[in-house]
Amino acid sequence: MAQILQTTLVDNRAVAAAGETFQLDLPVNPLSVILLTLRALNTATAVANRDWTSEFLDKYTAINVRYRGASIISGRLRGIAPGMMMRERWMWTHGQENNTDNDLRSLTIPLMFGRRAYDPVECFPATRRGDMILDITAAADAGGLDGHSVHIETIELLDATPARFIKFTEKQQSMTATGANTIDLPIGNKLLGVLLNPYAYPTGVARTSSFGEMNLEVDNVEVMYSGVSWEAAHALLQRRLPPTIDWLNHVHGFIDGAAGQINTQRGQHDQQVGQDFGLLELDPWNDGSYALDTRGAADVALQINSGTADGANLSRIYPIELVETGAPSGA
């Protein structure tokens, strides 16, 4: 059995308030999880009314784990975070949540290379020093948090010989018109799912979505998904996420009561972090039995009947690929 080794890669590295890009060498042993801890301080600006999760996620506009230049995990942290949460329902972890000015906050997000943590059969294989790089791009501070820093730990599995690992990368495309749009998907591996992040999604009085109706096609033949609505794709993702994500952002109303009485309204959840994501599920049992094998295909694509054009904006998808290493599956 492989041995667990959890160590600190970087301890509390300050991140520039104006934003910056930096890179770190990752360890050489088989890698199961990168634990990315984001730290910051409260500011006095509307300190009791901030969307702390979104502010952390939006600070980091690009995360890219590269092996010899090829992306293994890449995209906006806002998209990567729910994609990783799908694995074992591992919810990101908040540290202290006081609203006092200059009190510390933190958010820890696992970046996983398998469908399960600590799996010696499904993790990233051993590498040579300098071959595996983590790039982080940060934007300017948004106002509710400052003094940002990152603390990163890695979970290695010594002596593991993995047979496969998960590849999770971002693809951007603008839905150019109401109606037909095509998004090409990667070919050559098994697809376990496609995480969807349209620019436009039902909100307020609008029911339209950039991903209004979707078909999955292999060599121009529909497979597995035909005419799927955005709402149904959103519901499929909820099967994968912890129920508490619905309440990450919620509001409580308040009504001044007559004759000195005070009445409060029930809380209403506003799923600001998750309502713009959906999923086309291709691995519902987590065992690959339904996975879409794209090896030998000439073309794999999403055909989308968009409900609205994105204009100058971008919709995003995150194909989830299962990459085989060639090692025996029982290793």
Q: Which CATH class is domain 1-169?
A: mainly beta
Domain boundaries, the chain: 1-169, 173-251+268-325
pLDDT of residue 304: 95
Claim: this prediction has a pTM higher than 0.75: yes
Look at residue 78 and give its three-state secondary structure. helix
**φ, ψ for residue 11 (rounded to 5)?**
-110, 105
Nearest to 299 by CA among 217, 241, 179: 217
C-beta of residue 75 within 8 angstroms of C-beta of residue 58: no
Counting as low any pLDDT under 50, the low residues of the chain are 246-247, 268-270, 331
In this structure, are residues 126 and 25 in contact, taking their beta carbons and an 8 Å threshold? Answer: no
Dihedral sign for Cα atoms in the order 320, 324, 325, 328? positive
* pLDDT for the residue numbered 49: 58
CATH number, span 173-251+268-325: 2.60.120.730
User: Roughly what angle, to the nearest 10 degrees, separates helices 77-85 and 52-59?
Assistant: 120
